[in-house]
Amino acid sequence: MTSHTPTAGPASGLAIVPALLGLVRFQHTVFALPFAFAGALMATNAMPPWSTLGWILLAMVGARSLAMALNRLIDRRLDAANPRTAGRHLPSGRLTTGQVWAFAAVSLAAMLGAVSQLPEITWWLWPVPVALFVAYPYTKRVTWSCHLVLGLSIGIAPIGGWIAVTGAFALSPVLLWIAVAAWIAGFDVIYALLDVEHDRQARIRSIPARFGEAGALRIAAGLHLLAVALLVLAGIAASVTWPYYVGVAACALILLWEHATVRPGDEARIQAAFGTANGVMSLVFLAGVIGEVAVA
């Protein structure tokens, strides 16, 4: 494994901005944001007002940035002990805990500001995802089912988008929530293959550490099969037509490619499956929903 050396000191001035974007891996917002927009579009099978989409965008960026900042803060000592993650911004000293706490506060403020412009129910519900953001990093210390908690926390995106438009719950967005949770949990299991030996030595709980690499891949495949089935059921509950199902079929093919690509111990393949395949899948699903709205 590659070792990392600390930097000369924490970022300051304008250099803080790229450091913070790197901390939260801003590019990975693509995993959840398309599903939030998809939930908003499916809520009425029509294009919501642009102002509503803008507030959803701000809420999602704020929420995900908060989640990643909290994760990095809570896990900073675990990250420092892992050669693969020791070079991250907090363990390496590129950012201070004070800087990241300040960023977390700004992210929460952005999220709450957006929520205040959406239906009243969103104001009462915002503590739910925040509680999941805080809980997830601790679950890996006590249970191998931590991947499911991560899935539930990020998978809340489509139901959030739906409620932001309608102000009410329905069966379809709940199914979307569970579907996205299963999808995210599945690819997080695959990502955890990178740290299986370290996790066992450090007593960090994960599905690969508990069930082995082959068992973990079978569980991830089962979670992804469940995700596709639930996406189909969500479409049925929302009375969608063929463009939606074309999008779901394309997502299923992407997941098949992902599982055909992954090889335990091959970091390049795991990173490709984690980053490329899943980023493309979320956009493909949104494209299917946009197609559904276009033909409605």
**Domain annotation covers residue 262:** yes
**Domain annotation covers residue 64:** yes
**Domain annotation covers residue 5:** no
**Average pLDDT, stretch 15-31?**
77
Which pLDDT band, with edges at 50, 70 and 90, does 23 fall under? Answer: confident
Q: How many domains does the chain have?
A: 1
Query: What percent of the chain has pLDDT above 90?
Result: 79
Q: Report pLDDT for 263.
A: 84
pTM of the model: 0.90
| DSSP string computed for the chain | -------SS---GGGHHHHHHHHTTGGGGGGTHHHHHHHHHHHHTSPPPHHHHHHHHHHHHHHHHHHHHHHHHHTHHHHHHSTTTTTSHHHHTSS-HHHHHHHHHHHHHHHHHHHTTS-HHHHHHTHHHHHHHHHHHHHTTT-TTHHHHHHHHHTTHHHHHHHHHHSS--HHHHHHHHHHHHHHHHHHHHHGGGGHHHHHHHT---HHHHHHHHHHHHHHHHHHHHHHHHHHHHHHHTT--HHHHHHHHHHHHHHHHHHHH--TT-HHHHHIIIIIIHHHHHHHHHHHHHHHHHH-
**Domain annotation covers residue 240:** yes
CATH of the domain at 118: 1.10.357.140
**Domain annotation covers residue 9:** no
**Average pLDDT, stretch 251-264?**
91
**Domain annotation covers residue 50:** yes
Which pLDDT band, with edges at 50, 70 and 90, does 272 fall under? Answer: confident
Across 15-29, 67-81, 116-130, 256-270, least confident range: 15-29
Q: Above 70 in pLDDT, residue 13?
A: no
**Domain annotation covers residue 8:** no
Q: Which domain holds residue 139?
A: 15-295
**Domain annotation covers residue 84:** yes
